[in-house]
Every structure is written in C-alpha cells, then in structure tokens.
Structure 1
Amino acid sequence: MILQSVSYIHSDRDLLFSDIDLKINKNDKAALIGNNGVGKSTLLKILAGYLVASNGVVSSDSQPYYVPQVFGQFNDHSVTQALKIEDKIKALKDILDGHVTDENMSLLDDDWTIEERCREALEGWGLGDLDLTQKMGRLSGGQKTRVFLAGILIHRPELVLLDEPSNHLDTIGRSLLYDYIRYTKSSVLVVSHDRTLLNQVNMVYELSKNGITAYGGNYDFYAAQKRIESDALSHDVKSKEKALRKAREIERESLERQQKLDARGKKKQEKAGLPTISMNTLRNNAEKSTSRLKGVHTEKVGTISQELTQLRANLSDLDKMKMDFDNSALHIGKILVTGANINFGYGETLLWKEPLSFQITSGERIAIKGLNGSGKSTLIKMILGAVQPRLGNMDRADVRAIYIDQDYSLINKDLSVYEQAQEYNSGELQEHEIKIRLNRFLFSKAYWDKPCSALSGGEKMRLILCALTISNQAPDIMILDEPTNNLDIQSVEILTISVNEYKGTLIVVSHDEYFLKAINFERSIDVN
C-alpha cells in the first residue's frame, strides 16, 4: 500500500495532517505512533478505506483487514455480520441443503472452508464456544477484540491494520496477539501504546505535526534513537543558553567600557577649553558611536535569543514537565490492609476458587493480576472498603486512598480545567501558583477555561496528577485500574515518571507488563 501527499481536513475545516507519504511493503511489520490528536486512527481509517483523504493518493493491491479501536457500532450486529461473513456462511449452508443457485454460488465464491476456518479461528482466540448468531453487544470488550482478531485468519488478508488491539485483552490474549505479530506472513501496521507489542515490529513510523519520520527497528530501538536526539537537543539548548549569557556579558562590558572612554574624553575636552560648538560635535559623535555599538550587540543577543527559543520549542513535553509530589506521612512498613481468607460472591457461587489472604504495608508497589472477569475490580472495592467480603475478614487502617479508574471518574466534567485544579487546593496556593502547576503539566493558558468534558484520556490523567501535586498531602494509597488503556505513549511516559516519584503505597491493576516493570512493582496479588 502506498500513500502519496495525503492530507486530511476535518469537517470544521481544521487541518489534521498534510503531505503524508507512506509505503507498506510485503511482510512489513510496522507501528504507527504519535501523541494523542495527531491523527493516527484517522490515518489508519484512510488506509482501511473507511475515510477518504482530503488530498493525495492512496493505492493498494488488495483490501486491508481492519481491527478498530472502538466496537460500539457493532453492538446490534451478530458475530457473522460484524465479520462480514454472514452471507457467505448462509450461502454455504443453503448449498449443502441442496439449494445450489447461481446467487448462492456467487456469494460463496468457492470458499468451501469458510465455516471450518471460522471455527478454527475463534477457537484459536479462546472463543470456541461462541454462538455465531450472538449479538456483539452482549460480549465484553476483550471478547469483541478477539472476534475481530479471529477475522484475520478467516479473511486471510495481505495487509492487517490494528488500532490499539491490546486495550481490552488480558495477559493470555496479549500473549496470543504478540505471537501473531511475531509469526504472521501478512503485512501489519499497528497503532498502539503497548510497548511489549511495539517491540514485535521491525519498523516504527512516528506521526507528528511535522509529518512522518521512519525508524528502522522496534520500539526499544526507536526510544534509544529518540533519547540520542533529545540529548543532542538538550546539549544544543545548554550551549545556546551559555552563548546568550556570554553575549549579554560582552554587551554589558562593551557598553561600560565605551561609557568610560566617553567620560574620559569629555574631561579632556573640557580641560582643553574647546569651543562649545566643537564640544557638541564631539559629544554627538560619541553618542552615535555608543548607539552603533549597542545596536550591534543588541542584534547579536536578539539572534541568539531567537535561536534559543526555537530550540526550546523542539524540546519534548516530558523535558518541560516538572513533578512535585508530597510524600505520604506514613512510615515505611506500616500495615494498611490485611485480608484473611476472604472471598466474595452471590448466592452459592463464590468468586475465587481459593480464598485470598494478603497484607499491604506502607510504601509497597503491588500489582493485582488475573484474567478478565477474575474479580480484580471487586478486590479493589474491598481494599477501599466499598464492599465487604462474604467470607473472611478485611482490616483497614485509617488512611487516605485515591482510586484512579479507567474512566477518570475523579474528574468533574462540569468544571473547567482551572476549577478542577482549584478543587484540590487546600487554600494555601494562590491563583497564579495553581496556574504555574497547570503549566508544569502542559496545561497552558488556552486550557484553563476549557471544560473537563472536552479533555482526552491522557489529558484527564495528566490533570489528576497535577491536582495531586496541588493537594496539601499526597494520598497514602494510590490505586490505578488499567492506567495505560487509551493513553498514548507520551501520556504513559508521563504517568510512569509521576508514579516513580510517588513514595506512598501503589496498587496497580494492569496487563501491561512493560509498564509494571517500568514502575518497579515488587510483588503481585493473583486472583483467579
């Protein structure tokens, strides 16, 4: 597939991206990454044929297979309808029942293994018992993703387009996905923030406001190259800052020296008793000389200052951010939560095969692990005291806990960004200080009056982190529920930096092993 000079303009006439050139070759396994809002999903939809580019040429030798990020539009579809195989399977059954018509033969198109291939594909993704007539709306997010991933084997495309495919997958599902990308013969282009997945590709395309930049290698290679670029840019910024200080120093010294020379010259002229007209001429010449000297230095300082501004503008947002979390007031090792042989359930059915026993102490970093539907969210509610175990005992110390869920429910959508930050102010910070904190978390003046309902997932997460720094005291326990879902890579990196600066007790529910390693989790509580 080839894209040439492709541009896309929103219906409100805002330009999303322009002059995009991209070529996907046979057997390529590539990732498309970039910050939220740069147009990754839009570009993927253009490749899939779901959107039409505003300008440019899109050409392909075959129809790509597209796995979307959002599946709500398929809720009223059956599994076969969502996979676009309903007519073909019906035609096959009609033919086998003796209705060998031209229409049925045309619909089947000699695909006699479609039903067998469909069952094999679904079984491969752990959906062997799935009823093909079932509505997609009755499936979980992970099951919907698996259905569309199974469609790859059913349709056998030459090019597969994946938009955040690991978002709703548990550990087993992610492992299957990684294996698929590693071993498939199809060409693959994936949009993802899952860095384990991104390490399965051999090419990374970074989409930004400047277009697309290609990096030959997986995500770790890309990250290493970006660090080299960032280090070089930081070095250039420091060098330019030094040059600016030197230029201002030379300017000051030159002007002081010139002023001293002018003063000595004036004294000599006065002693010589020169006529007034001659004195005025000499004074005017001295002033012109000083003015020219000042102009030369001012121009040089201005040039260096402008170059420095341009260099700083190219710094990544991560380099501009400043974290400032207060520490939890609790001493390390204080027992916060104790669960003794706990279980939960309704009626005669218990949630876990074996009861859970654990202890959580201050300063620990704990991952709660388990397959989808295994009761991780229920355990979180028990730790928070929102529900009580049906069996066993839960003891909790009187501590301050904060729970950041996948929907960022801590954010009040009816407030502006500034108002939401002010909600966490204990009264000690003045307005200008709150705005300084907002700027540190990349909320410029243009964001302060923006409604929180208009923020992306990454922006909401960033606003919560900012609010926590504004709060007078850090929480004793911070619980993150699938925190990397729906975040771009930059937002995940911001979250990682923030979490690593937090010194309280951290409890994380996540299938993202890369993220868990990055935040140095110490142990896990496994629920199954």
Structure 2
Amino acid sequence: MLFLQGVTYAHPNRDVLFSDINLTVNRQDKIALIGNNGAGKSTLLGILTGRLKPVSGIAGADSKPYFVPQHFGQYNALTVAEALGIHDKLLALKEILEGYLTDINLELLDDDWGIEERCQEAFAYWELRGIALTQPMSELSGGQKTKVFLAGIMIHEPDIVLLDEPSNHLDASGRALLYDYIRSTSNTLVVVSHDRTLLNLLNTVCELGKRGVTVYGGNYDFYAEQKAIENEALSLDVKAKEKALRKAKEVEKESMERQQKLDARGKKKQEKAGLPTIVQNAFRNNAERSTARMKGIHAEKVGGIAQELSHLRNELPAVDKMKLDFDNSALHKGKILITAHRVNFAYGDQSLWQENLDFQITSGERIAIKGTNGSGKTTLIRMILDDLQPTTGAIERADFKSIYIDQDYSLIDNALTVYEQAQKFNSGALQEHDIKIRLNRFLFTREYWDKRCGNLSGGEKMRLMLCSLAIATQAPDMIILDEPTNNLDIQNIGILTAAINEYRGTLLVVSHDARFLREIGVEREVVLG
C-alpha cells in the first residue's frame, strides 16, 4: 500500500507547488496519475519514492517502491549496473566467487545469488541484446535507456512500481512489451503518462490539479467521458453566469436611469415650491447619498457575478479558450510533391534499408512514417526536406513550402522573447496589438511577452509554435511532425490534435502514438525495416 496524507510541497524559493494532497493506493491497484505540465506529477512520484521531502504531511509505503524515471541525460555518467543500483551487489558476487568471502561482500550480496541470471532474463525480455552491465549509459539510445530501467523491475522484484512517462522513447515493439507488462503484472502501479493507450490499461485515473487529487474509478476512456460531462456542465454554468451578468448590468442601468428621473423630478418640485436654498441642498445631498448607495449595491452585485464568471472561465479546458486559424495550403489536392526512385542511404559500406525505397507523396495526404528505433526515419525526413542526398537512387521534389516540427520544437529560438518569436513570423505586417491579441488567444498573457523562449516548457513551446504559424500569412504546403507528442501532457496533445485537424495541407508524421495518428486522420503508412 502507498499513501499520501495532507502533503504539501514547496520549491526551494518557497513557491507552493501543491498543498493538502491525499491519496491511497491499495495493494495491486493500477493507478494512472495525470495532470497538466507543471502540476507536480513527477514531484509527487519523487515524494512517494522518498527522494523528495514534503513541507508538511505524511507519505508512506509498506515496501520500498521501484522507480522507472524519465531520463534526459542525468544518468550518462553511470554504467548500466550503476544506474540500476546493482553495481555493488554484482561486484560483491564476483569477489565471493573469486574467494573473497568477506562479511562486507556477504552483506552487500544479501543472499541474492541469482542476480546475474535475473539480469540476463530481464535484458532478454526487454530486447536489450548486446547491452553489457558495464556499458556506459551515454552509449545507449533513449529507448534502450528506458528499457534498462524497465528491466530493473524483473531484477529488483518489487511489490510497488512507480513509472514516470515510461513509453516516451519506446518504439512500437518496446511499447508492446510495456503494455504486456502492465496488463499481466500483479505489482502495485502508479504511472505518470500521456500515452492514452497505456492509460487505458490502468483501472483508476487520478487527476492532479488545482483542487488536489480527484479520483475517477475507471480507465482513461472512462475518465475522458466523465471530463466531457463535467466540461459540458461547466460550459452551461459559464453561459448561465454570462446571462446573469448581462441581466445584472441591465437592472443596474434601469435602476440608475429611474433614480436619475426621480431626482430630476424632485428637484423641479423643490424649485417650484420655493424652498429655501439650505433645504434644497439638504434634499440634494440626501438624493446623492441614496444614488451612491444604490450604485454601490449594484456595482457589488455586478462585480461579484463577474468574479464568479472569471473563476468559471479559468476552469474551462485550454483547447476551448483558443481559436486556431490555420490557412489552407495553396496547392491543389493530388499534386505530386515527392517521388522517390530506388532510394537508399549508406553509412560506410552498410545500406540503411534492406530494400531500396520507392514511394510518392501527393498534396493533401496524411502519411505516417513508421519503423523501429534506428530504422532511418529521421534520415528519410532529411532526404524529403532536401537536407540530405541519397547514396542510391534519386528523389524528385516539386516546388513547395514545408515546415519541420521536431519533438524539441527547434523552430522556436530560445534566445528570443515570446513576443519577438511571434513577431519573427509576422510576414503580414500585423500591428503590435494584433500580435498580442493572438498571443493571448494561445494563453500567452502579458506576463509571458518578455519571457525568454528557452524558459518555456515543451507544451508552451508547442503552443507558441502554433501561434507563430497562425500569424504567418502563407500556410506551409507540408508539415512534417517528428515525435511531436513526446514532451506534451494530455491537454497539450489535445490542442495539437485540434490544430492539425484544422490544417488542410500535406502531413508527414513520425510517431509511436497510435491513438494520436488515428485522431489526426493518417491515411497511409511508409514502413521502414
């Protein structure tokens, strides 16, 4: 069992990330932990592992959890065995077998005489062929590093496993192995992921948000249905509150006009009656105080409704707050853009593909480029973009405008501010206020305009990239997406999906996310082997 009770966590600068979090995970539960980027999902996993300490509250587990981390180079200085935390145990076993039967070695080994066999079995299961325990992590690909940590589950044999974005770097084969493990294991699982296929294999979804952890008793599809119902109710509440605000303003206007007429009528009567000036002044002051009091009452009511409306609007999903204005490609549908004749590429004497490639790409198509890690997907993209020439065969290219969007959103210049980045795409000479209106539409409010792009999260860079493309007057004829969802949370995947579905040009996509490919309407595949 795992539990969090009244947990609050603050950054070193004392900014509170989340507060009063309560969560119980029972034995053999399989829990999905989801939430927007920056909500604190990875931090919550860190608290559950004991690596991070909360400011207040209690976190506990009835056995030591095993953690499969996200990796971004932080383990490159370690060997595989060191990253898995088994280096000392393997060294102790080696020395014992060589005759150094010391108390220290026996304590380090802890009667785990089958550690080497489990390592071999785990590496075979996770298809880590040719990977040595002494090998530096820096020599491995992203997918291999992930598999190393996944192999650690079989090596350490824990009861509780915590996984942070485990499918991020895995190809289709690796994902299939991960999904099989999730389905078949009796381990207690807590999984942070944006992979909706994986999330559907888990029996409970826990959403970390402004209100703490909300538990939904079902898989991701069940959660999505419940959120749709909640969001529909929220939209109705927003509309009702907008109506109430309009009504309150009308009542305020009518009341003030009526009061002004009464005041004017009273003033005429007083003048007609010939009352002394001092009496008339007293009546006028009373009337002004009465009007001010009434005005204050109405202003308070209108302000209260406006504040409630603002709170409700802030709860709306981000995808509903922004308008995505992608232009259509200027090319007619069906125009031949790329023709590849017997294409291949060689590194030294070794050709990348066993068979030369023949294919054609026409305007308006939506194509997925598929293959395992190392199968040459990026190489093929570079040839399509005319950045690399094939060593065998030829590629014919028509005249068209393309944009390449990789998982790091390299179109964004990290040295520029958010406003400067948007201005860089301002080929239509929009005025400054028009640029800022569009930035606001993509959730970049005033406090973001002078922020450096290098300080943005993956999801924020994606939104700024979409905003920049929408600002450009000429839409690209082809958009190439290279693992675009790897660094995005579920909310931002939804925003990207909506944007791509509005685009009417040619689309090439490299992605292992089968659900994303379905949702953007991919029509055919180029499979590399």
Superposition TM-score tier, normalisation by shorter sequence: over 0.9
Task: Give the superposition deviation at 1:49.
Answer: 2.0
Partner of 1:232: 233
- After superposition, residues 271-290 of structure 1 pair within 5 angstroms as 274-277=273-276, 280=280
Task: Give the superposition deviation at 1:94.
Answer: 3.9
Partner of 1:109: 110
Task: Give the superposition deviation at 1:490.
Answer: 1.4
- Structure 1 distance, partners of 2:298, 2:326, is 43
- Structure 2 distance, partners of 1:258, 1:11, is 57
- Structure 2 distance, partners of 1:172, 1:55, is 42
Aligned AA (2:318): D
Task: Give the superposition deviation at 1:84.
Answer: 1.8
Task: Give the superposition deviation at 1:423.
Answer: 0.5
Partner of 2:303: 302
Q: TM-score, normalised to structure 1's length?
A: 0.94
Q: Which moved more, 1:143-152 or 1:214-223?
A: 214-223
Partner of 2:484: 483
- Structure 2 distance, partners of 1:334, 1:388, is 23
Partner of 1:357: 358
Structure 2 CA distance for partners of 1:333 and 1:43, relative to 1, 3 Å: same
CA contact (8 A) 1:119 1:128 kept: no
Task: Give the superposition deviation at 1:452.
Answer: 1.0
Aligned length: 526
Partner of 2:502: 501
Partner of 1:2: 3
CA contact (8 A) 2:428 2:472 kept: no
- Structure 1 distance, partners of 2:151, 2:68, is 10
Task: Give the superposition deviation at 1:296.
Answer: 4.2
Deviation per residue, 1:31-65 (Å, 9 max, x gap): 11111112111111121122222222222221110
Task: Give the superposition deviation at 1:292.
Answer: 5.2
Partner of 1:243: 244
- After superposition, residues 449-460 of structure 1 pair within 5 angstroms as 449-460=450-461
Structure 2 CA distance for partners of 1:90 and 1:262, relative to 1, 3 Å: closer
CA contact (8 A) 2:66 2:160 kept: yes
- After superposition, residues 26-425 of structure 1 pair within 5 angstroms as 26-70=27-71, 72-260=73-261, 274-277=273-276, 280=280, 293-425=294-426
Structure 2 CA distance for partners of 1:284 and 1:277, relative to 1, 3 Å: farther
Deviation per residue, 1:471-513 (Å, 9 max, x gap): 1111110001000011111111111111111111111100001
Task: Give the superposition deviation at 1:214.
Answer: 1.3
Partner of 1:470: 471
Structure 2 CA distance for partners of 1:52 and 1:274, relative to 1, 3 Å: closer
SS of alignment partner, residue 273 of structure 2: coil
- Structure 2 distance, partners of 1:249, 1:351, is 72
Deviation per residue, 1:283-330 (Å, 9 max, x gap): 666666655554444343333222222222222222211111121111
Task: Give the superposition deviation at 1:98.
Answer: 4.6
Q: Which moved more, 1:69-78 or 1:212-221?
A: 69-78
Q: Which moved more, 1:362-371 or 1:44-53?
A: 44-53
- Structure 1 distance, partners of 2:308, 2:75, is 52
Structure 2 CA distance for partners of 1:49 and 1:283, relative to 1, 3 Å: closer
Partner of 1:21: 22
Q: Which moved more, 1:288-297 or 1:51-60?
A: 288-297
Q: Which moved more, 1:180-189 or 1:339-348?
A: 339-348
- Structure 2 distance, partners of 1:406, 1:82, is 25
SS of alignment partner, residue 387 of structure 1: coil
Aligned AA (1:396): R
Q: Which moved more, 1:68-77 or 1:286-295?
A: 286-295
Structure 1: 5+ residue stretches without partners: none
CA contact (8 A) 1:79 1:135 kept: yes
Deviation per residue, 1:149-172 (Å, 9 max, x gap): 011011110110111111110001
CA contact (8 A) 2:369 2:509 kept: yes
- Structure 2 distance, partners of 1:69, 1:302, is 46
- Structure 1 distance, partners of 2:85, 2:363, is 52
Aligned AA (1:54): V
- Structure 2 distance, partners of 1:62, 1:245, is 58
Structure 2 CA distance for partners of 1:81 and 1:296, relative to 1, 3 Å: closer
Aligned AA (2:244): A
Structure 2 CA distance for partners of 1:71 and 1:158, relative to 1, 3 Å: farther
SS of alignment partner, residue 358 of structure 1: strand
Task: Give the superposition deviation at 1:426.
Answer: 1.2
Q: 2:420 matched to 1:440?
A: no
- Structure 2 distance, partners of 1:365, 1:397, is 17
- Structure 1 distance, partners of 2:92, 2:269, is 111
Deviation per residue, 1:348-402 (Å, 9 max, x gap): 3111111111111111111110000000001100110111112222111111100
Q: Which moved more, 1:66-75 or 1:380-389?
A: 66-75
- Structure 2 distance, partners of 1:135, 1:450, is 37
CA contact (8 A) 1:363 1:505 kept: yes
CA contact (8 A) 1:71 1:144 kept: no
CA contact (8 A) 2:339 2:359 kept: yes
Q: Which moved more, 1:436-445 or 1:54-63?
A: 54-63
CA contact (8 A) 1:325 1:474 kept: yes
- Structure 2 distance, partners of 1:81, 1:305, is 57
- Structure 2 distance, partners of 1:193, 1:391, is 39
SS of alignment partner, residue 74 of structure 1: coil
- Structure 1 distance, partners of 2:331, 2:481, is 20
- Structure 1 distance, partners of 2:105, 2:283, is 105
Q: Which moved more, 1:259-268 or 1:244-253?
A: 259-268
Task: Give the superposition deviation at 1:462.
Answer: 1.1
- After superposition, residues 505-524 of structure 1 pair within 5 angstroms as 505-524=506-525
Q: Which moved more, 1:82-91 or 1:224-233?
A: 82-91
SS of alignment partner, residue 35 of structure 1: coil
Aligned AA (1:359): Q
- Structure 1 distance, partners of 2:287, 2:107, is 96
Structure 2: 5+ residue stretches without partners: none
- Structure 1 distance, partners of 2:139, 2:249, is 69
Aligned AA (1:68): P
Task: Give the superposition deviation at 1:412.
Answer: 1.2
- Structure 2 distance, partners of 1:293, 1:401, is 61
- Structure 2 distance, partners of 1:350, 1:512, is 28
Structure 2 CA distance for partners of 1:83 and 1:293, relative to 1, 3 Å: closer
Structure 2 CA distance for partners of 1:54 and 1:260, relative to 1, 3 Å: closer
Structure 2 CA distance for partners of 1:163 and 1:276, relative to 1, 3 Å: same
Task: Give the superposition deviation at 1:4.
Answer: 1.6
Aligned AA (2:211): N
Aligned AA (2:404): Y
